[in-house]
Chain A
Amino acid sequence: MGSHSSSAHGENYINCEKGLWSWLTTIDHKRIGIMYMIAVMFFFFVGGVMALLLRLELFAPNATAGVGQVLKNGDAYNQVLTYHGAIMVFMVIVPGIPAILGNFFLPIHLGAKDMAFPKINLLSWYVFMAGALLAVATFFLSKIDTGWTFYTPYSIRTGTSVVVMVVAAFIMGMSSILTGLNMIVTVHKLRAPGMTMHRMPLFVWAMYSTAILQLLATPVLGITLMLLAAEKIFGVGIFDPALGGDPVLFQHFFWFYSHPAVYIMILPAMGVISEIITAFSRKVIFGYTAIAYSSLGIAAVSFFVWGHHMFVSGQSELAGIMFSFITMLVGVPTAIKMFNWVATIYKGSVSFDSPMLFALGFLFLFAIGGVTGIMLATLPIDVHFHDTYFVVAHFHYVMVGGTLMALMGGFYYWFPKMFGKNFNEALARLSFVFIFIGFNVTFFPQFILGAMGMPRRYFDYIPNYEQLNKVSTVGSWLILIGFLIGLYAIVQGIRKGSKAVANPWGAKTLEWQTASPPPQFNFDVEPVVTAGPYEYR
């Protein structure tokens, strides 16, 4: 591959080839990242509209006619709930940062020309799209109503297209495995000269830990979903108590994947935050090794905590106690990261550009998500909070507040690099303000609703819960406004933004040492690395 001083002629990965076909057949990791971006944004829009519908339905108890009856009955609500969860988990948050930002920046961060397996990289996009479209297709067959967790025996008994949906999730899982595999090999084999493991940016460490999880955990989900499909088609009797199966076994299998998956969602976010905090404080990150190894630590321990989803499922008391204990241990590396980020700001030179605002928003929301996580890990407290709105609030704080804040922050951070254009900073900040306030208005009341005892997945509720649900629904509109402003800022930036310089933020990692947007093979001259990634002196 010998395109050398291509950027000197103003040629970059966007304009080096033209036409839709050149995008659909590209093996350039940057273009694939952009293709993921378009897909994920579309699914985020669909999942978001469903969230708004759910909140609208819950604006008032059903007894009050009108607003409380947006979805015409419990079935419609349960279906929208299921699609909202499945789309947001499998098509937005799990692929989000790894597939968009990871694809785009991991090779550049390493000083590589591309991923280790560029064609497998393209294949994973097609596999992902095939799975995602199949999942969406079930919406036109018979809408499934199992919740994104597919708990048995409900999923076996319900007459809806569960089999198609689990096949779709299985296919998307394969895409996730391929991406993970590709990233691990890229990290091990394609680092530029001088780029030792301990000189890799923390974003790469986070992606690396994530990739290990994707590779090891996703097959378990695949097998579980295939067993569920076999159960539905052939009546094997693994999960269905009517056939002598054990319905709780499904939960064990399911969470053995899905708990590590929670970290597949959050570790990449932590990587993005590490990059932003250090760049906008202009200061070397505090505790590089602690952050890098705590990612691996979280990844390792996350395999042994699945049972904390099942404290009241009828699993043994001893199991509950063990899982509670191990879950407490995950809190430690997570706390370490929080302290490291705050310590990085200490004696720095902090600017409040929009990426930094999103990163600070992340720290704020993740602190709340984290402490409520400890509450849920505490056995007798979880017995009360399990399957209530407290849990809903907690995981939205961690997964949406955490991952989405990081995705938005990372997106604005790298926007000039990705598109070679500047976005409107005022709009980006305004979008942050709406999203941040809206998010807290929507989800904080749900902690209280949960403490008051309102169970989750409720189509309707008793009047005690009305006021807080109203507040929560109003919050969801603020989030909507925030995202619409953000979308406008992005589209306007891409179309009309002024030309970006190579290193607008004065950051140190490798992607800022090449042109904006990067040339087709990332660097005109292969970089040689002589120091750590954050040498701000």
Chain B
Amino acid sequence: MMWFNIAKAQSFMPTQGTEIAKQVDNLYGFLLITSFIACVLVIGGMIYFVLKYKRKSDNDKTAYISHSTALEFLWSFIPLVIFLAVFAWGWYIYHGMRTMPKDALEINVLGKQWAWEVEYKNGYKAVNEIVVPVNTDVKLLLTSQDVIHSFFIPSFRIKQDAVPGRYTALWFRAEKLGEFHAFCAEYCGTTHSGMIGKVRVVTREEFDKYMEEGQEEGQLPLAKRGEKLFALKACASCHAVDNPAAKVGPSLFQVFGHEVVLADGSKVNADENYIRESILQPNAKVVKGFPQGVMPTFQGQINENELNALIEYVKSLK
């Protein structure tokens, strides 16, 4: 098994956060070694032959060897056996990867341009962060509200597309405490590469505490609730809040109560009504310098209480 460890050390795979990751890396290590041997045989053989049979004069006599049935059978059969063995080994691991455990902790994950919205059974919502207890089976139910995204945790060696209009699932059992990246692997537009979440593996006690705090969210101050909602609805993908620099959309930093110049040159005061209108009908009054039709409407997706919280949050960006 020493060979495996060498191969693994060379393979640059991220931390092994799960048992499945170890299994995948074992197979990958095996493939790395066999591939290396195959390449050495083919490329090494090629280099050896070209040097050994380098042309010496312009009328070198060459051998007339047109084929060899035994040799040809062997070098078709041996790769076939290796490939089928690799297939079978892969099938075994894949079976474990795709068999959903029965009593797993289920978490819903919604992909959207460009964030992951996470919802727990008790109704607690978070964005771009999944907190899970260590050594527990966790099942993620994935879907998307717009285009196809793909949920990818490199350290756990798992990936699954989040497809609009249907549910897909993946499961893992994290064995290491800590934070792990969760990327979007399926190209989804402008800030595809910014759609990065994290999976935080914590102890059971910490997890219970996290859930409790989440439950108390209703008692947060209005602006705090707005801040949370701002992240949850992925507003932060397009609007800066801590500096005046524009991202895809205009910055909201120190905007409230000031005059805003619109595309047609007219001016409007950024008050409660303007913020509300911009959330529900984003294309009604677009700020100068920004294209029409980029921001989606949130009409029907948030209620009056949430609107109040968002407006309160924008007010607080001083």
A residues near B (Cβ < 8 Å) are 73-75, 78, 145, 147, 151, 153-154, 157-159, 241-242, 245-248, 281-290, 312-314, 317, 320-321, 324-325, 328-329, 331-332, 335-336, 338-339, 341-343, 345-352, 360, 363-364, 367-368, 371-372, 374-375, 377-381, 383-384, 386-388, 448, 451-453, 455-462, 506, 536-537
Contact B159 A374 (CB under 8 A): no
Q: Is there an interface contact between B66 and A288, defined as CB atoms closer than 8 Å?
A: yes
Contact A375 B35 (CB under 8 A): yes
Closest to A459 in B: B193
Closest to B147 in A: A154
Pair A336/B72 contact, Cβ less than 8 Å: yes
Asked if B63 contacts A347 (CB within 8 A), the reply is: yes
B75 lies within 8 A of A380 (CB): no
Do B53 and A286 have beta carbons less than 8 Å apart? Answer: no
Residue B128, interface by CB 8 Å: no
Partner of A380, one of B27, B71, B152, B293: B27
Please name the residue on chain B nearest to A371 by beta carbon.
B35
What are 10 inter-chain pairs, A to B, with CB distance below 8 A? Answer: A282-B60, A313-B163, A321-B91, A332-B79, A348-B49, A360-B50, A371-B34, A380-B23, A387-B152, A388-B185
- The docked-state distance in angstroms from the alpha carbon of A456 to that of B28 is 20
Verify if B55 is at the interface (C-beta below 8 Å from A). Answer: yes
Given A328-B83, A378-B90, A153 and B67 contact (CB-CB distance below 8 Å): no
Contacts of A153 in B (CB 8 A): 146-148, 164
Q: Out of A154, A159, A328, A367, name the residue touching B293 (CB < 8 Å).
A: A159
Taking the closest CB of chain B, its distance from the CB of A297, in whole angstroms, is: 11
Given the interface contacts A247-B148, A314-B161, A328-B87, does A380 sit within 8 Å of B97 by beta carbon?
yes
Restricting to B185-211, which residues have a CB under 8 Å from any CB of A?
A: 185-194, 196
A150 to B163, CA, bound (A): 15
Taken together as a complex, chains A and B put the C-alpha atoms of A536 and B89 apart, in Å, by 45
A286-B66, A312-B160, A346-B53 given as contacts; is B187 within 8 A of A453 (CB)? no
Task: Give the A-B pair count, Cβ closer than 8 A.
Answer: 260
- Interface segment, one of B40-48, B227-235, B275-283: B40-48
A349-B157 in contact (CB<8A) = no
The segment from B8-16, B101-109, B260-268, B301-309 that touches chain A is B8-16
The reply to whether the CB of B184 lies closer than 8 angstroms to some CB of chain A is yes
Residue-wise interface mask of B (42-85) relative to A, using a CB-CB cutoff of 8 A (1 in contact, 0 not): 11011001100111101011111111100110011001100110
B interface, CB within 8 angstroms of A: 11-14, 20, 23-24, 27-28, 31, 34-35, 38-39, 42-43, 45-46, 49-50, 53-56, 58, 60-68, 71-72, 75-76, 79-80, 83-84, 86-87, 89-91, 93-94, 97-98, 146-148, 150, 152, 154-155, 157-161, 163-166, 168, 181, 183-194, 196, 248, 293
In the complex, the answer to whether A367 meets B39 with C-beta atoms within 8 Å is: yes
Among B147, B184, B193, the one with the most A-chain Cβ atoms within 10 Å of its Cβ is B193
Known: A74-B194, A331-B79, A342-B46. 9 other contacts (CB 8 A): A74-B189, A313-B148, A321-B91, A324-B90, A331-B83, A347-B53, A367-B38, A383-B158, A537-B64
- With beta carbons under 8 angstroms apart, the residue of A284, A332, A341, A451 that contacts B66 is A284
Contact of A452 among B13, B64, B185 (CB under 8 A): B13
Nearest neighbor of A356 in chain B, beta-carbon distance? B50
When the two chains form their complex, are residues A281 and B53 in contact, meaning their CB atoms are under 8 A apart? yes
Could you tell me the distance between the alpha carbons of A302 and B233 in the complex, rounded to whole angstroms?
43
Q: A287-B67, A349-B60 are in contact. Are A451 and B83 (CB under 8 A)?
A: no
Contact present for A374 and B31 (CB under 8 Å): yes
